[in-house]
Amino acid sequence: MGSLNSEIRNKRYLLLFLLAAVTEFFPGCESEPPPVNIPDKGLKDYYIDYFPIGVAVSPSNLTLGTGERVIIDKEFNSLTAENVMKMGPMHPQENTYYWDDADKIVNFAIANNMKVRGHTLCWHSNTPSWILKNSDGTTVTKEVLLNRLKDHITQVVTRYKGKVYAWDVVNEAIDDNPAKIYRESSWYNICGEEYIAKAFQWAHEADPDALLFYNDYSTESASKRDKIYTFLKGLIDAGIPVHGIGLQGHWSVSWPSEAELRSAIVKYASLGIKIQITELDVSVYSNNEDFSVRTPGDDTFTADREQKQLDKYKMIFRVFRDYKSEITGVTFWNVSDKRSWLDNFPVTNRKNYPLLFDQNYNRKRVYFEVVNF
Ligand code: GLA
């Protein structure tokens, strides 16, 4: 019995020796995991060699047991706060900051090894009314407004320093009208264009490691694209710390074309900045036909709409993969077709189906096209 044991032990030593010799000569082979129990992959895993895949969430989406939470856990490795980091909810009065909701999202992301994009420090919409007014109701001066903006940016960016890796510093400051450059928002009307450069400088001072983005929509339409390019070039040439552009990606089955998308990416990348797709969804309604008017047959996810959306998503992800050196993040706006802001925009109460997961939280046919490469 004793000799049998020692024979087995000797064989085991021999095996271990051979294994050690093999791994010595073929380094790397020891790190191969056994091909068993490979977990079901999510979007983030399919795109691991490309870019993080994110999603915009509300704090309630993170509740354990909800359909949203199951999808978030499995599919995404980056989060954006859909609303709770905007100036209105976060800074409702001059000396009142409301952090709880944003903290929930940031802490959840950190605990789950996810990145966080901060959205957004300065936007014409969601500007709280107090910030534009003196206590007597008159409009503030440029100096007062810039001081308030500085305070807001400094407080928010400092709180999440080292936790939020990228900020949408200024959102939608460029006008859609080809005849105008800047959107004539209260920020612009009171401060002129200067508030934009200042916002980037203050964000950079508060967290020098954070990546700072200018974020906008219709960034692929030729006239807006060229305006944004010139505007960003001006900031970059003046030494303003702008590190990237966020293409919101609120697209539709009819827009943008592959050529428009490619030329926008190439043009912005030529500025030497990074590109992130920050608010991706693909409306099933067509921009150039019935986009903003209710028409018979709306609300239904017809086979035709499904196919057009599938083709569009397939194209845009193919383009994203082609530009993986320029694109450093892709974030979807909302989790599933159960609820999207497009259910009420641009037509109130018209059901849309813009995402990769259906109303029952299942992967749609389009999901499998996006991960099939
Ligand atoms: C813009 C904003 C987002 C969001 C969407 C609509 O794109 O940047 O924060 O409000 O509109 O939901």
CA–centroid distance, 363 to ligand 1, in Å, is: 24
On whether the CB atoms of residues 108 and 63 are closer than 8 A, the answer is no
Distance CA 351, CA 301 (A): 9
CA–centroid distance, 123 to ligand 1, in Å, is: 10
CA–centroid distance, 171 to ligand 1, in Å, is: 9
CA–centroid distance, 243 to ligand 1, in Å, is: 21
Please identify every stretch of the chain with a pLDDT value under 50, giving residue numbers as ranges.
Answer: 1-38
Which residue in the list 75, 82, 172, 369 is annotated as catalytic? 172
Which of 183, 279, 280, 352 for mutating ligand 1's site (highest number of atoms within 8 Å of CB)?
A: 279
On whether the CB atoms of residues 171 and 228 are closer than 8 A, the answer is no
**Alpha carbon distances (Å) from 107 to 54, 59, 114, 126, 290:** 16, 11, 10, 24, 42
CA–centroid distance, 325 to ligand 1, in Å, is: 26
**Predicted local confidence at residue 296, as pLDDT:** 85
**Predicted local confidence at residue 16, as pLDDT:** 39
Query: Which atom of ligand 1 has the smallest separation from the CA of 217?
Result: 7
Residues ≥6 apart with Cβ < 8 Å to 142: 190, 191, 192, 194
Annotated active-site residue 24? The verdict is: no
The pLDDT tens digits of the residues spanning 47-91 come to 999 999 999 999 999 999 999 999 999 999 999 999 999 999 999
Query: Which atom of ligand 1 has the smallest separation from the CA of 83?
Result: 9
Q: If you take atom 6 of ligand 1, which residue's CA is the nearest one? A: 341
Closest CA to 55 of 131, 97, 109, 4: 109
Query: Which atom of ligand 1 has the smallest separation from the CA of 279?
Result: 7
Q: If you take atom 8 of ligand 1, which residue's CA is the nearest one? A: 171
Closest CA to 282 of 357, 180, 354, 368: 354
Annotated active-site residue 279? The verdict is: yes
**Predicted local confidence at residue 287, as pLDDT:** 74
**Predicted local confidence at residue 292, as pLDDT:** 80
Which residue in the list 75, 82, 279, 369 is annotated as catalytic? 279
**Predicted local confidence at residue 7, as pLDDT:** 43
- Residues lining ligand 1, Cβ inside 6 A: 119, 171, 217, 248, 279, 341
Query: Which atom of ligand 1 has the smallest separation from the CA of 215?
Result: 8
CA–centroid distance, 40 to ligand 1, in Å, is: 32
Residue 110: enclosing H or E segment and its boundaries?
Answer: helix 100-111
Give 312: exposed, middle or buried? Use CB within 10 Å, 0-12, 13-18, 19+.
buried
